[in-house]
Every structure is written in C-alpha cells, then in structure tokens.
Chain A
Amino acid sequence: MKEELIAYIKSELIGDDTMEMNSEDDLLTSGLIDSLAIMRFIGHIEATHEIKVAPQDMVIENFINVDAIADYIQRTKNS
C-alpha cells in the first residue's frame, strides 16, 4: 500500500516520478504538497481504499507521512 501511495504522490500531486521519497518523509512541513493537493489526495484514498475520511480525522498525526497515512487507512478499515 505504501508504494502505491508514494507513486500517487509523486506522479499526481508533485508531478515528478523521478524524485526520491521515503515513507517517513514529512509531507506537510516541506511544502511538497499544498492544501488543494491534500484534498485531491484524500479523494484518491477514499476511492481506492473504500473508506470515508471523516473531517475530524484530518489532523497532522494521520497525514504527516506515508507511514502515518497507511496506518490510518488500516485502522479505519478495521473499525
């Protein structure tokens, strides 16, 4: 799942498939993704993983990096 998320971020949100990105890289502080791209990203997560991201779940702890996002998706699926 993490590879798929990284691939999506690189190609769809940043537009640079060649860049290096690890699952622990900070996505929110670095300026890599702006607030509108985040909205698109959440739409993508909801569609591909068949979950609903509740507005109150849109907190830094859940989206700071790919590790946290994968963890959040897993938790939401299991609940």
Chain B
Amino acid sequence: MNYLLTHSITESAKRFPERQAFVFMNRSLSYKELEQQSNQLANLLIDLGVKKGDRVGIYMNRSLESSIAVYGIMKAGAAYVPLDPDAPIKRTQFLIEDCEIEVLITNSIKKRQVKEIIDAKTQLKSCIGFKDGLTINTIPWEEVLQQSEETPSISILGNDLAYIMYTSGSTGLPKGIMHSHNSGLAYAKLSADLYELTEEDRIGNHAPLHFDISTFGYFTGPFVGATTVIIPDPHTKMPASLAQLIEKEQLSIWYSVPLALVQLLQSKSIEKADMSALRWVLYGGEVFPTKHLNALMQIWPSCQFSNVYGPAEVNQCTYYTVQEPPKEDEMIPLGKVWGNTEKLILNQDDGLAKRGEVGELLIRSATMMKGYWNQSELTKKSLYTLRINSTYKKVFYRTGDLVKLDENNDLLFLGRKDRQIKIRGYRVELDEVVGVLSINTAVHEAAVFAITKEGTVHIAAVIILKEEGLITVEELRDHLNQNLPKYAVPETILIGKQLPRTSNGKINHLELEKTLEIEEE
C-alpha cells in the first residue's frame, strides 16, 4: 500500500523500471536507478548517524542529484530541508542552526559556500557531495554509489515528518513549515487526479527545490510514474534556450510562476518552437498579468491553463481553469477548493462572512502542514479551532488572504490581511525586512513598504539613523544583502529625517507609498 512519499518511487520502480524518473541536461535517472541510489544514500545517512525524525539539508542548485537527495533522506526516516543555494551565508547558517542540521547534501559547485558555513562553526558534522580537507567529514558522491542497495528497515508512518520548507517570517527571522508524508502524499494524489496525470506525462519543473511549487515535479510526477524534467539554472535565465528545451524534452505539463512564462513569451522564440506536446500549463505563486496570459493562450490554443492557489502551509487548496483568453481588466479567480478540503471565510470578528462580503480565507485539508518548526506559539496563532462538541473539533489554517465569493461561487483574491507581499512568487514579510534593518546599530527606525512601478511590485525602505552620517545607503544595502535573499532586498533605499505618523502614532505607510510612487514617476 502506498502511504509514504517514498512508496511512489518503490512502486514506480516495480511498474516502470526503465522509465525516466528525472531528467537533467543530458542525464537521466530511471525509476529503477532512483530506487537503488536513494536506498544507497539512505544507508550512508544511517551510517553517518542520521536517525528517524532528524533533519538533513539539501544545498545544491537545480541538479539530477537533488532527486536522489529528496528520496534518500526520506528513506532514512529523516526530513529533508531544502536550502536556497543563492541565499546569503548568514541566512543559510541560521536555517542550519534553527532546525539542527548535522548532515548536508551538496555538490562541488557549492564548495566555497560550504567552507564559509563551516568556518562559522555550526553543528554540521558531515557533508556529502565532494571530498575536501575541511574540518568536518566530507564524502564524495561516488562513495554514495558504493553503499548497499537494500531498502533500509526503518519504520516510518504517514504522520511522520517528511520535509521542512522555510519562508519569510514577520518577526524578522524565517520560519520552517513542517509537512508529513501524509500531507505531501495527499497533495500528490489530489494534483495527479485533478490534472489527469499519467505515466506518459513529462513535467517541466522550473521551481527551485526550496520553493513549494517544486513538490509537483518531485512528488506528483513519481506518484504516477511520470517523467520530471528539472529545468537547469541557465535555462531559467535564457528564455530562447528554455523554448528549445521544452521542444526537445516534449514537455506535456508545465508548472511555474507567471514570470517564467512571461519571459518565454517576450523572447518570441515560443512561436517558432514545436511545443505541441504541451497539454496543461499551471501557474501559481502570484497573479498572472492578464495581457500576457491572453497572448500565451492565443499561441497555445490547445493547452489548458490553470491558476493554482495555496500557501505553502497547505500546499494547494483551490483550482481554477481559465476557459477563454481573459480580457485586459478581468480578474482571474482562485476558483473552488479541491478534494478533501474545506473552507471558511471569516470577517474581522471571526464570524462567518455574509455572501459577497470580504473576509479571511481559512482552510482545512489533508494537505495541511503539521505546524511551524519549533514555534508552537506561532503555530497556534496561525490556526483556528471550530469546536463541534466537547471532544470533536475542526482545525483550520488562517491563510491571511482576503477573499470573497463571486456569482459563480469562485473565490476571488482581494489582498492580504497583514504585511506579506509576493515578489516573483516568493513570499516576503515586510516586517522581516524591518527586523533585519533594526539589528544594524546605526539604524534608529525603519519603514518598509511595497510600491508599484509599471505594474510590478517593488520593496522600498525609508530609514532614520541614530545620528546623521553614521552609515551610507550602500552600506545599508550590503547589510541587507548579507541577511536576506536577493528578492527581499528593497530596490529603493532612502535615508530620511523623520517618518510620517498616523494620529495614533503608528508609521503612516500609506503616505510613504504615495510619496514614493509620485517621486518614481
């Protein structure tokens, strides 16, 4: 019976041993090879002392080995923690310490960064991916392939931890979203069913491993025995090469943030390439500008287009298939909740919102997280309990997204309840940026807010120094670059004299936004 994420590989290896499981550049792994090599990695991890429930980091760019890492770690009974390979070292160190990672799986491209992490004295004990004279145990990838191919005999249950994904936290530090085999597999089953996946499909996986969109390629593909093509980093930056790859690999399903598709569209190479194998385009993470969605739907008329919505805490929770190329000002709905999922729309007083009234969306689903790693208070705050009687209750996740139902009973997204924004699909808590600025000793106070320039959202910061001339804008930018991922660093940084206040003394973000948007024009 299939009740763990790892069972997908074992089952598919029995049914389709020679079928490609993952493809990267000119290399691929069949299901049989993936089953063997993930067992080998699991056995090595167990030899290194990894126990059930431990967290193991994956620190690598898009690569074929990432698939072995994901499944090898879970087969050892541990949870995988994907680390952003481009994040500043300080942030990576924080994540390693926060969830007590002792073993890191990486490759030789990251050698320099791994050395910096080790120099900072984390609790890291071993590193798999290259051999080097570092102070910790380093094991080259070839050694993984010398281990036993036997499936490790570890008792793992569906409710056990499978992976932790970190996202921006409003308190100034990232938070880890914990998912079990149950919630990950529920997502794989529901998405396979909804998008009618079969073993014949070839999935284009554009998202990096630390972005939750990657679970479609990494979990749903293997669940049905399909092939997942990992889009290499260079192709994500060169749209004309990406178009060639989609044609060459005969991709049938694509899932990414809208930006990747917009760049593809603008490269004009899309019309020349033969992409007739493509049958379904999924996009998520942020709103697709209707002008571009319209153009794309005209070019690929035989393709289905679906808007995917769901915070990483619940994987996915609603679906909407776009029937006709949308008009310029049309709002694409989030759609309806999918299987095994229930929703509530609550008003400010936690009462049920009336029909057509705007409220916060709450979700209860089989795909829901276990909570935030090591943050019970934050977990409690993110949940809403509906008591049915003294022994039975329903627990919902508060998405923080403001929605209302339209006349077709489809959910419409109308904004955020808090100060979270999306930059290229990545979640950024503006207060995390404030938190990072505040730890700089020269900063007295900082206001961070979003502004819209030519239809694109940017982050801006206005900073009041403790004393004039203590620090320059350039030095502040360096400080931010050292502590935040690139997408979260404000594009506009200004040093000001004072911040505008509302009548009750709070920073008046609205006025700041207005002033800056006028200046930018």
Contact = CB atoms under 8 A, between A and B. Distances in A.
Interface of A: 15, 28-31, 33-36, 38, 55-60, 63-64
- The interface residues of chain B, by DSSP majority, are classed as helix
Given A56-B267, A57-B240, A59-B244, 7 more contacts: A30-B109, A38-B238, A55-B269, A56-B240, A58-B239, A59-B241, A63-B238
Interface of B: 61, 85-86, 109, 232-241, 244, 259, 263, 266-269, 272, 424, 477-478, 481, 486
A28 B233 contact: yes
Contacts of B86: 31, 34
B263 A35 contact: yes
Nearest to B245: A60
B472 to A, nearest CB: 13
A72 B233 CA distance: 21
A28 B234 contact: yes
B240 A35 contact: no
A48 B185 CA distance: 52
B481 A59 contact: no
A29 B233 contact: yes
Contacts of A56: 240, 267-269, 272
A57 to B, nearest CB: 7
Nearest to B236: A35
Contacts of A55: 239-240, 266-269
Given A15-B481, A34-B486, A59-B244, A28 B269 contact: no
10 contacts: A15-B478, A29-B232, A31-B233, A35-B259, A55-B268, A59-B238, A59-B241, A60-B238, A60-B241, A63-B237
A29 B61 contact: yes
Contacts of A57: 240
A29 B266 contact: no
A56 B259 CA distance: 18
B234 A58 contact: no
A64 B233 CA distance: 11
A21 to B, nearest CB: 13
B233 A15 contact: no
B267 A58 contact: yes
B268 to A, nearest CB: 4
Contacts of A58: 238-241, 267, 269
Nearest to A35: B237
Contacts of B109: 29-30
Given A55-B269, A58-B238, A31 B478 contact: no
B417 to A, nearest CB: 28
A60 B286 CA distance: 27
- In order of increasing CB-CB distance, the 7 nearest A-B pairs are A28-B234, A31-B86, A55-B268, A55-B267, A58-B240, A59-B241, A60-B241
Nearest to A14: B481
